[in-house]
Amino acid sequence: MAYRSELIVFTDLDGTLIDHHTYDFSPAAKAIGLLDRMSAGLVLASSKTAPEIYRLRAEIGCDAWPAIVENGAGVLPPLVAETSEDTQYLAIRAVLDETPAELRGRFRGFGDVPTDELMAMTGLSKEGAVLAQSRSFSEPGLWFGTDTERDQFLTALATYGVTAQQGGRFLTLSFGANKVDQMQKIIQAYNPRYTVALGDAPNDIEMLEYADIGIIVANPTFPPLPPLRTEGAGRIIRTKQAGPAGWNLAVCDILERLEREQDLNNG
């Protein structure tokens, strides 16, 4: 059916398409297969780096589509392995050095720790941790201070044009681009008839609200997202199952709904 080649699904990874702890996406295999057979787009949108995304994108089988990397700070084109740019990342690291020492010490970024410590922070393998530190556009990290100190830290960063997005676990610093910014560019380039977005964290909210259908994937590790702007209009769905299992059921349900609508339109 015509709509199937005009559908693009934008999805967060950790806690959404891949399990928050095991990084397994196999419970979503059925829905991924359906999307592939329909020639639907599957665009990964994550805080992960280009090298990390390239490997995952190939494993999932969606490497013919662009991917949104480093929380929307950049885009990895189809079939490309990595970006060669690191100017923005080095600039963010320089800004961090300009923040007051007592605040700077509360933020533990990926560039602040040896690979072994990052493995403990993230649960990644050594190879995965090395890829996670191969950054071009943004700096994720853990915040260890109070909420007041965090506000002071973000105010100090803002004077240099650096903003922060809170993901499921990490606070990610960048020069302002986010997932929905890159989502809009991809939609403009591909002009899909339908868009679906899936996520589980605060940094996914704008992407969820921008899509025709947004799906909040349950993540029992963190507090649920608050009611979203488009939820009252029925454009936001919440899964009961967490991670890739919830992702799989939700995407399968959406595809069935779109097929029924298409059949009614054709009838």
Residue 33: burial class (beta carbons within 10 Å; 0-12, 13-18, 19+): exposed
- Predicted TM-score (pTM) of the model is 0.82
Q: Parallel, antiparallel, or unpaired: how do β-strands 41-44 and 7-11 relate?
A: parallel
**What digits encode the pLDDT tens for the residues 78-137?**
988 766 677 889 999 999 999 999 999 999 999 999 999 999 998 889 998 999 998 988
pLDDT in tens, 169-220: 889 999 988 899 999 999 999 999 999 999 999 989 999 999 999 999 999 9
Q: How many CB atoms lie within 10 A of CB 4?
A: 18
* pLDDT higher than threshold 70 for residue 241: yes
Helix, strand, coil abundance in the chain, percent, nearest 5: 45, 20, 35
Domains along the chain? 2-81+178-266 (3.40.50.1000), 87-174 (3.30.980.20)
Query: What mean pLDDT value characterizes the chain?
Result: 91
Compute how many other C-beta atoms are within 10 angstroms of the C-beta atom of residue 115: 15
Place of tokens 């991670």: 243
Average pLDDT, integer, range 64-80 = 91
Task: For residue 102, give the nearest of 141, 145, 139, 140 by alpha carbon.
Answer: 145
